[in-house]
A and B are shown apart, each in its own frame.
Chain A
Amino acid sequence: MRTAIVERRIDSSALLAEVANTRNGATVLFVGTVRDMNDDAPVSALDYTAYNAMAERELAAIVAEAAKRWKTHDIAVEHRVGTLDLGEASVAIAAAHPHRGEAFEAARYIIEELKRRLPIWKREHYVDGRSEWVSADGQKTADIEQRTSDVGAKS
């Protein structure tokens, strides 16, 4: 198992190689990338910023939960911070298991928990020069006050 918050480009094939093991019959790779539109606004770039120490700790905790639940240690996850261009990977999850069901479920668990729990924020820069903080589901900062307490209750 390895997790990291990184400031460099994510090499997803390196993550795949890292979890490769002849015990495993299935490897799932999830890659999250910067898309060019949010809420009908054309996006030009994204800045990810993190509460680094906590993000590292929380990411490691999420992966440990998945490893325990699906009984595999062959998991590697990187989340990138800094300025990302369109199409670049912001997160990559490689999860390997003897069987495909568990590999898919572990990867899915990790991405969903990470989106809910990692203290990482993104500021979108739009083609028209504006920029704004956005939450995980694409809402702008003005609309999200209600959501904050919901997340806390589940954590």
Chain B
Amino acid sequence: MTVRVLLFASYADALGASEVALDLPAGACVRDVLSRVKSMASGKRIPDKPLVAVNQRYATDDQTVSASDEVAIIPPVAGG
């Protein structure tokens, strides 16, 4: 399955893209998304355990993702 992953701010700069499409096996979880992103060129600049959102809600490492999900890797936030 193909999963869309959104990148923002410093992480988008690090990977040179604001969105990547990953080909993942069915049943993959947030942890698998992260290890795939970190294996990309410049992916090492993303920390080991960044915040991740699935469908616009903060998610845990072991949450499964599906092809229709919107996954986002969230850099340390700085609103306010």
Interface residues of A (CB under 8 A from B): 32, 48-51, 53-55, 57-58, 79, 90-91, 111, 114-123, 133-136, 139, 141, 144-145, 147-149, 151-152, 155
Please report the C-alpha to C-alpha distance between residue A2 and residue B8 in the assembled complex, in whole angstroms.
Answer: 26
Q: How far is the CA of A50 from the CA of B57 in the complex (A)?
A: 14
Complex CA–CA separation, A51 to B79 (angstroms):
11
| Chain B residue, CB-CB nearest to A49 | B9
Question: Are B8 and A135 in contact, CB atoms less than 8 angstroms apart?
Answer: no
State which residues 12-62 of B face A: CB under 8 Å.
13, 47-53, 56-58
Q: Which of A50, A121, A151 has the most CB of B within 10 A?
A: A121
**Contact between chains at A79 and B79 (CB < 8 Å):** yes
Q: B residues within 8 Å of A by Cβ?
A: 6, 8-10, 13, 47-53, 56-58, 72, 74-80
Contact A141 B6, beta carbon cutoff 8 Å: no
Complex CA–CA separation, A147 to B56 (angstroms) = 20
Of all chain B residues, the one with the shortest Cβ separation from A115 is B80
> How far does the alpha carbon of A139 sit from the alpha carbon of B78 in the complex, in Å?
10
Contact between chains at A121 and B9 (CB < 8 Å): yes
Q: Which residue of B lies closest to A53 (CB)?
A: B56
| In the complex, chain B residues whose CB is within 8 Å of the CB of A114 | 79-80
**How far is A32 from B48 in the complex, measured between Cα atoms in Å?**
32
CB neighbours (8 Å) of B77 from chain A are 115-121, 135-136, 151
From B8, B53, B58, contact of A49 by CB (8 A): B8
Inter-chain contact B72/A55, CB cutoff 8 Å: no
8 interchain pairs, CB-CB under 8 A? A51-B53, A51-B72, A119-B8, A121-B79, A122-B79, A136-B78, A139-B76, A155-B51
A121 B78 Cβ-Cβ under 8 A: yes
Cβ-defined contact, A111 with B80, below 8 A: yes
* CB <8 Å contact, B76 and A136: yes
A147 contacts B8, CB within 8 Å? Answer: no
- In the assembly, what is the distance between CA of A121 and CA of B76, in Å? 8
Report B57 CB to chain A, min CB distance, Å. 8
Which of the listed residues B8, B75, B77 has the most CB atoms from chain A within 10 Å of its own CB? B77
